[in-house]
Amino acid sequence: MNVPDTVTTALADRPVDGRTCLEAGAGVGNMTAALVEGGAERVYAITNDADHATKVRDRTGQASSVAVLEADLEATPLPADAVDVVTAHALFNVLEPSSAVAIAEELTRVAAPGAHLVVDDYAPIPTDAAVRHLFAIENAAAELAGRRPALTFYPVDGLRRLFGGLGWEFDRTRTLLDPVPWTESHFSAHVDVVRSHAEAVPGDLGEQLVAAAEDVAAETGSEEVGEMYSLAMWLPETTSRA
Ligand SMILES: C[S@@+](CC[C@H](N)C(=O)[O-])C[C@H]1O[C@@H](n2cnc3c(N)ncnc32)[C@H](O)[C@@H]1O
């Protein structure tokens, strides 16, 4: 099902065969596809985006093991202790801190004792990177339009401590990309996001943000910078979950 190398690498040392798995934040379903290929008995793919849910259903339509659920992970529609493997591939960078904490709590609630967790994401981007400038413009537009940031980049140690505080034990970290290849199409997709937020920004500030984002994209084209990491943890059989 054409799974990116980052996803394959992150899952390579995880026990997926015959397990019940959750892809938290399904996007286009890369992790769901990899979990199916890895022999998962059941895969729950959860996203709050209707278009993403449709894409994941189309992509994995033949796999009876997959259930695509359109829902907010802050109220994950699964019972406690239901999942053996929890994955969050490139989810946390689209979560503001309060949502990240609420979702980490929910992922812990639905994880069975002995469960495995894989969280893959982008490390904070170096301050001199052009792509960081573009994301700053995107966040400004998102804050002005909707009072919340579009993107937050968490250090791997921050997520390790967040999940550690909920009872998970550290297993390993692994580098998935170093540097991260931010392509022309990434730049252009993020300029489009700035445009969509700018419509709701009053006055001519929105237009100025779009112009600034277009300038960064035109001047930079593409850029290789930053790191994508994979964090793996596991939940002890007898844990005192916070
Ligand atoms: C960047 S994509 C993840 C990519 C995907 N994991 C993959 O491997 O292809 C982020 C996904 O998380 C979803 N998402 C963000 N916040 C969410 C929330 N509170 N509840 C459910 N899904 C959420 C988005 O709608 C999107 O589908």
Report pLDDT for 62.
74
DSSP 33-47: HHHHHTT-SEEEEEE
Tell me if residue 18 falls in helix, strand or coil.
Answer: coil
Q: What confidence tens digit (pLDDT) does each residue in 184-196 have?
A: 999 999 999 999 9
Span 156-178, pLDDT tens digits: 999 999 999 999 999 999 999 99
Predicted confidence (pLDDT) at residue 240 exceeds the cutoff of 70: no
Phi/psi for 5 (5° steps) reads -60, -35
Q: pLDDT class for 24, splitting at 50, 70, 90?
A: very high
Average pLDDT for 88-99: 98
3-state secondary structure of 190: helix
C-alpha of residue 25 to centroid of ligand 1, in Å:
3
Residues 196 and 139 sit within 8 Å (Cβ to Cβ): no
pTM as predicted: 0.95
CB atoms near residue 185 (< 10 Å): 9
Give the number of other CB atoms < 10 A from CB of residue 39. Answer: 12
Average predicted confidence (pLDDT) for the chain: 96
pLDDT confidence of residue 43 = 97
pLDDT of residue 108: 98
Q: What type of residue is 40?
A: A
Residue 239: the pLDDT is 58
Nearest atom in ligand 1 to 91's CA: 10
Ligand 1 binding pocket (C-beta < 6 A) is 7, 23, 25-31, 46-49, 52, 72-74, 89-91, 94-95, 99
Six-digit token string for 192? 């489009």
Pair 31, 91: CB distance under 8 Å:
no
Per residue in 109-135, pLDDT tens?
999 999 999 999 999 999 999 999 999
Q: Which residue among 31, 91, 138 is best mutated to probe the pocket of ligand 1, counting the most ligand atoms within 8 A of its Cβ?
A: 91
Q: Identify the sign of the CA torsion 17, 21, 23, 28.
A: positive
